[in-house]
Amino acid sequence: MEPNAIRMKAIAINFNEIRVYLSKNYYNGISSKFYLKDLESDELILLTGDALDSSDDPDFQKYAFHVSFHMGRVYKIVDAYGLTCFLDFSYLSMCKEFDELYFYEGDDLGNCYTREKTTFKVWAPLSTGVILKIIKDGKDFLYPMVRGLKGVYSYTVEEDLENAHYFYLIKHAGNYDISMDPYAYAASSNGRTNIIVDLQKLSMPPHQLPPLEHKTDAIIYETSVRDFSMSSTSGMKNKGKFAAFTEPHTSTDSGNPTGLDYLSCLGVTHIQLMPINDFATVDEKNPSELYNWGYDPAQYNVTEGSYVTDPNDGYKRVYEAQQMIEFIHSRGMRVVLDVVYNHMHDVNMNALEKTVPHYFFRRNDDGSLSNGSWCGNDLNTTAKMCRKYILDMCKRWQVLYGVDGFRFDLMGLIDIETMKLIDAQGKALDSSFLIYGEGWNMMTALAEDKRTTIQNNRKVPHIGFFNDFFRDTLRGTNQMETKGYFSGDTYKTNDAMKAICNLDMFEYISQSINYVECHDNATCYDKFQISNYDEDEETKKKRLRLLLAAVILSQGIPFIHSGQEFFRTKGGLQNTYNAGDQVNALDWNRKDFEIDTVQFVQFLIHLRKNNPCFRYADYDMIRANVQLENIDHRMIQYKLHQDDGEYQDIIVYFNASTDSVEVDVEDGYTVLHHTEKGKIIDGKLSIDGVCMAILVR
């Protein structure tokens, strides 16, 4: 429709109030009377109300009328000259009464398939009609759905619809719009239709992993489904697919393990997968043409088709993701799923907006979209049905796919109450469930005290946060030239001690996700090429090893970016979300070149796993058993005691300066590790510059 040609529009702004907008180019915007016409009964009601001051609007004269109407019926407004327009109900979703009137508690939205029949239900309380379109055996079938309580439209088709395709035609203000099903289980390529599958054929066997006694027992390794296998060096056949994770005995050009064989040997406990739900900017039929990390969700409810061997096969959409997770479980590792419940790729093109306009996306006081995500929209997580939808989808990923935790992208945009409910739901299903996310304080249209930010961590004591103080102190900020303690800024020695054992930042130490590198921003290797440009390559790598050691041995939960353990590079680029496979694909041959560092990381992970002093679960244990000391304003002494484990006492020395520092060693200590193979001589040990040592007793 040409906007400049609109002569009249009518909007229900409350459940007993209508606003009519009459073009000032049409009889100067003046009409002596208006009627409300019920198209079902043909009843014509004369409206009484007032013209509003419209001096601030150059295009329309505004009128306000108080009148009652029935939701689900089709109405037109008629002016004194016979001009008509449909009454638009879509703005009612922003009324404070809307949730009370239309919140639906049922767990039966979407399609419920049996061989004999399939029942479809969609929550669309503002619509004036919904048509179900089924595509089966090359033929189209249309079924008008029946409006029920709380604005839920339903229809049952009495035949076997397995593998049939479908979508909804939803009517708002006289126009039908095509919408996918927000609760569907599968879709065809690029989200053209949803597909009906038999869930009885897709049940997951329960995994038998031992319980996670403490969250601090976790060691998280982040990777992307596509990046993990895409390189020619991966040795995997199903490049960029879920199926690559199920391939055994894959190897580099030199014959060394890659894939899950490698990760299970590395020793990490949790694989964090970057988003695997359907995202918008990769053509699923031509996935090599475009690249994206996946933080642009199109459908929350189905898997990304470019990761499936056949994106038009509804069963493979589910089954291949299930298989990937099952294979990871079989290697003794858990799966954390990166979820993006803070925004969607296109506010107008997704099923949430099309089924219930203006409801699922947060608004500013003036009605404009909130944009704390910097992606054009924020999900309205305090709206009851939006909150329920997020909870329902989280439960689906946990129950149908078997995930063991969630990493929340831009978690600061999500309200605290929603996050607490997600955490409680996850723990009720699995006591070992892990939830953490980005707690940045974004400028969204939600009160700051209600945001799940790192500043509000004490309000969500069971949810973890990426610790940017840890990152910036030990590595330097995201500005490439800045230095942290381990890149040589020894003025930060005291802050580095605080980062390694942070007693003040969180309610519980298990909330601290200790990281210096993730998919965002430059890799540490690339950053050190800039911040430490005046040092030779080997010195930079020594610093990177110290940084890895600090991540793995600090109190809290360690987080490693895939390839960090063999100095991953993205050629100096930072935000590589669409930079392509050449930049983002994991170069497995680099692992072979840096095998000494990989083995060092394996040693550190083994040390952490076998000595609980590195993963104390509460502050009282840390205060009683951990001491840190600043040695000569340049070196950190990290001293730990434990009653159980390989050793009774452990001392870790981190020397990020370029100077050697000599320390006195108590009787009974031996050197477990020393970067320069140093030895204790006459009760003294020299810790060389850019070096670390681990002593045990």
pLDDT tens string 447-473: 999 999 999 999 999 999 999 999 999
- 469: part of which helix (H) or strand (E)? helix 468-474
What is the domain count for the chain? 3
For residue 453, is it within any domain?
Answer: no
pLDDT by residue (tens digit) across 208-242? 899 999 999 999 999 999 999 999 999 999 999 99
Q: What percent of the chain has pLDDT over 90?
A: 97
Q: Would 118 be classed as within a structural domain?
A: yes
Residue 94: what pLDDT?
93
Span 107-136, average pLDDT: 98
* Whether residue 43 is found in the same domain as residue 68: yes
User: 35 and 110: one domain?
Assistant: no
Is there a catalytic annotation at residue 17? no
Do 164 and 117 meet the contact criterion of CB atoms below 8 Å apart?
no
Report whether pLDDT(259) > 70: yes
| Averaged pLDDT, 506-523 | 97
Q: Show which of 151, 167, 202 is a domain's final residue.
A: 202
The whole-number average pLDDT for the span 496-522 is: 97
pLDDT at 334 exceeding the cut of 60: yes
- CATH code, domain with 115: 2.60.40.10
Residue environment code for 620-652, b if the CB has 16+ CB neighbours within 10 A, otherwise e? ebbeebbebeebeebbbbbbbebeebebebbbb
Range of the domain at 145: 100-202
CA-based R_g, the chain, Å: 29
Quick one: 83 and 108 in the same domain? no
> Active-site residue among 438, 472, 489, 592?
438
> Is pLDDT above 70 for 654?
yes
pLDDT at 2: 66
The reported pLDDT for the residue numbered 174 is: 86
User: What's the average model confidence in pLDDT over 550-557?
Assistant: 98
Which residue among 88, 109, 144 closes a domain?
A: 88
Catalytic (active site) residue 535: no
- Regarding whether 60 and 18 lie in a shared domain, the answer is yes
Q: Which residues, in sequence order, are bridge partners of residue 44?
A: 37
CB contact set of 262 (below 8 Å; sequence gap of 6+): 256, 591
Catalytic one of 320, 409, 423, 430: 409
Is the model's pLDDT at 107 over the cut of 90?
Answer: yes
pLDDT of 207 strictly over 90: no
pLDDT at 205: 79
3-state secondary structure 87-120: EECHHHHHCCCHHHHHCCCCCCCEEEECCCCEEE
* pLDDT for 173: 87
Contacts of 422 (CB under 8 A, 6+ apart): 390, 391, 394, 406, 435
- Cα–Cα dist 554/48, whole Å: 71
- 486 vs 496: CA distance, rounded Å: 9
Residue 316 clears pLDDT 80, i.e. is over it: yes
pLDDT tens digit sequence for 387-432:
999 999 999 999 999 999 999 999 999 999 999 999 999 999 999 9
Looking at the structure, tell me whether residues 112 and 174 fall in a common domain.
yes
When the pLDDT of each residue in the chain is averaged and rounded to a whole number, the result is 96
Share of the chain above pLDDT 70, in %: 100
Whether residue 180 is contained in a domain is answered as yes
Rounded Cα–Cα distance for residues 212 and 507 (Å): 20
Residue 123 pLDDT > 80, yes or no?
yes
- Confidence tier at 5 by pLDDT (50, 70, 90): confident
| Residues 194 and 106 reside in one and the same domain | yes
DSSP 529: H
Q: What is the pLDDT of residue 306?
A: 98
